[in-house]
Amino acid sequence: MRSTSRSTEISRPASAAVLRRKTAFISRLLERRLGIPRRQSPPAPPLDMLIATILSQNTSDGNSHRAYSELRRQFPTWELVAGASPAALRTAIRTGGMANQKSVRIQETLAAVLQMYGTYDLSSIRKLSSEEVIRRLTAFKGVGAKTAACVLLFSLRRDVFPVDTHVHRLCTRLGLAPGSRTPEETFEAMKSLVPPGKAHSFHTNLIRFGRTICRPSNPRCGECPLYGRCSFEGKAAPGGSRNTPARPGRDFMLLDNV
């Protein structure tokens, strides 16, 4: 019994070490293939990033970009957004999809920010720890860990790795988060795996990789540089038929306009 217990205890850190090495390898390979992503300078203010991330939910990057741009064109300040009529706000963000729900969520979030901070400004969270920022932002209705992590990564420049449904898909296909069933579980699993200083690069390049090669359906397995590292049971045989042309994509502001 002692031998079995000791063997189990030894295998756990070894498994974590293997996953860290694999994650580091994939991060380096994607940088060689896709480059090191540039960052927006200066970064967007935290409240801007929070609202933009809410708009990006359940839609394409292009649509969310258009919705955010139109929102800021019609309502240049967050005070104006907060005081806008529901109908006008829905019209402004309609291209982002789910305008009825998102318009309510945006105004609820702005009201909560004003109540908590006395102004439509989240700059004061810059001095807080990443854990505290996540705790405070996820206290807002409808704001999850992924949205909070995007604010940390893209606006506050913290080394935090956001996980949405697409990043979750890629991490599980590549076997980096075995057993994770949701983006939230993958977010927790990846905290100790992403190499220090590589959260932005790895997050951005995974999304690029997921758009062009490892797509949700019809992945281009025949062109995948990570085929041998992939754990996806549905992947095609090398040189197989999953090789349809990639459609050009557009990076949204959450990717710093790269």
3-state secondary structure of 239: coil
3-state secondary structure of 96: helix
The architecture (CATH level 2) of 27-38+162-255 comes to Orthogonal Bundle (1.10)
pLDDT at 118 (0 to 100)? 95
Could you give the C-alpha distances from 191 to 3, 16, 28, 185, 188, in angstroms and in order? Answer: 31, 11, 18, 10, 6
- Percent of the chain clearing pLDDT 70 (strictly above): 86
The pTM for the full model equals 0.85
Q: Is the pLDDT of residue 71 over 80?
A: yes
3-state secondary structure of 210: helix
Q: Where in the chain are the domains?
A: 27-38+162-255, 46-155
Query: What's the whole-number average pLDDT of the chain?
Result: 87
Q: How far apart are CA 124 and CA 142, in angstroms?
A: 21
Average pLDDT over residues 9-37: 83
3-state secondary structure of 70: helix
46-155 topology per CATH:
Endonuclease III; domain 1 (1.10.340)
Contact 134, 75 (CB under 8 A): no
Element (H, E) at 211: helix 199-212
Q: What DSSP line would sit under 132-164, residue for residue?
A: HHHHHHTTSTT--HHHHHHIIIIIS--------
Q: Is the pLDDT of residue 197 over 90?
A: yes
3-state secondary structure of 51: helix
pLDDT at 250 (0 to 100)? 46
pLDDT at 10 (0 to 100)? 38
Rounded to the nearest 10 degrees, what angle do helices 46-56 and 61-74 cross at? 130
How crowded is the C-beta side of 222, counted as CA atoms within 13 Å?
A: 9
pLDDT at 181 (0 to 100)? 94
> Which residues, including other chains, have CB under 8 Å from residue 195's CB and lie 6 or more apart?
20, 23, 24, 27, 202
